[in-house]
Amino acid sequence: MRHLVAHRKLGRTSSHRKALLRNLCTSFVLHERIITTLPKAKELRPYAEKAVTLGRRARAAREAGQNEAAVHAARQAAAFFFSGNAGLDSKKHDSTAERTAGVAALKKLTGDLAERFADRPGGYTRIFKLGPRKGDGAEMALIEFVGSEDKKAVKDKDEKAGKK
């Protein structure tokens, strides 16, 4: 029986699974749509939606002037992302260095995505089934943020207008 068993193990240890979800969530927030296997997409959905809710909470607190609450929510949301590798010179602070993926994802989450979903009470993502993968037959899926198709349509129109 599977009573009170909440999540899929995805054939990984708990630390590997946690790292996988952090990497998927970081890429998902940065690119707004990713293609992965269906079980990974189904497991990523609640994980990413909790991160978006925390991003919304941080933005709302910042706008209300509650800096402590904003920092707290942003730090909680940062735990959902891959922190990135600073490289060999990690002890030296370089302001010109490129941001790590986790920092960029957190900035996008508390900025663009929090603004887009400010009035939406949940359901920030959708999953499309794509069929089996050719190599091993794994069921593939596309997971994307609701509203990202509008941005893609605008980008396609701009590209078509630029070609003419």
Residue 59 buriedness (CB in 10 A; 0-12 / 13-18 / 19+): buried
Report the pLDDT value the prediction gives residue 164, as an integer from 0 to 100. Answer: 57
pTM of the shown model: 0.82
Q: Where are the beta strands (DSSP E) in the chain?
A: 33-37, 125-132, 139-145
Q: What is the pLDDT of residues 87-115, one digit of tens each?
A: 555 556 666 666 688 888 999 999 999 99
Report the pLDDT value the prediction gives residue 49, as an integer from 0 to 100. Answer: 95
Integer angstrom CA distances of residue 105 from 36, 84, 137, 164:
19, 11, 31, 35
Report the pLDDT value the prediction gives residue 152, as an integer from 0 to 100. Answer: 64
> 101-108 and 67-78 helices cross at what angle (nearest 10)?
130
Show the domains of the chain with their CATH numbers. 14-83+94-163 (3.90.1030.10)
Report the pLDDT value the prediction gives residue 82, as an integer from 0 to 100. Answer: 86
Report the pLDDT value the prediction gives residue 131, as an integer from 0 to 100. Answer: 95
- Which residue ranges in the chain fall short of pLDDT 50? none
Q: Is 137 left (phi over 0), alpha (psi -120 to 50) or beta?
A: left
Report the pLDDT value the prediction gives residue 116, as an integer from 0 to 100. Answer: 94
Report the pLDDT value the prediction gives residue 101, as an integer from 0 to 100. Answer: 85
Report the pLDDT value the prediction gives residue 158, as an integer from 0 to 100. Answer: 67
d(C-alpha 128, C-alpha 32), whole Å: 14
Report the pLDDT value the prediction gives residue 60, as an integer from 0 to 100. Answer: 95
DSSP letter for each residue of 97-123: SPPPHHHHHHHHIIIIIHHHTTT--S-
Residue 45: in which H helix or E strand, if any?
helix 38-63
Contact 105, 26 (CB under 8 A): yes
